[in-house]
Structure 1
Amino acid sequence: MSASSTLDLRGLKCPLPVLRTRKYLRTLESGARVTVETTDPLAVIDIPHFCREDGHRLLGSEPTGGGHAFLIEKA
């Protein structure tokens, strides 16, 4: 997964991963990519739902040691 930046949200519980991702994406230009790393088991549901709701593209999702990584392209 290739991204311009990585947002380390490991250790945070719902709803913080989505809230922090939303806040971070507001600082980026349209088309920018970010990898979001989480350990919250609900993130596999919450992050894709957030992307659909806000219009961002979820380009990839993969399990990592103890969590998940999501590649998101800002709308």
Structure 2
Amino acid sequence: MYESTVTAKGQTTLPKHVRDLLGLEAGDRIRYLVTGDTVRILRPRKAMSLCGALKREGPAISLEAMDAAVRARASRMDDP
């Protein structure tokens, strides 16, 4: 377990071992996931790291087809 002190300004320094485990360097951003009284510190993931995370059967869909599907669904939302 690691600890750090919170300053009067609400700042703290992540212990070096924690920074090393997360692969953080000066200027990197971190995220806080708060659940009840628990806080998890996460390193943000780049969008490209999600490439291939979702599998889909069938041929690829073009951006134009996706835009058309979004427009069609949005127009149905306007109908009472």
TM over 0.5: no
Question: 1 or 2 for the larger relative contact order (CA 8 Å, sep ≥6)?
Answer: 1
The structure in which a higher percent of residues are helix is: 2
- Normalised to the residue count of structure 1, the TM-score between the two structures is 0.30
- Normalised to the residue count of structure 2, the TM-score between the two structures is 0.29
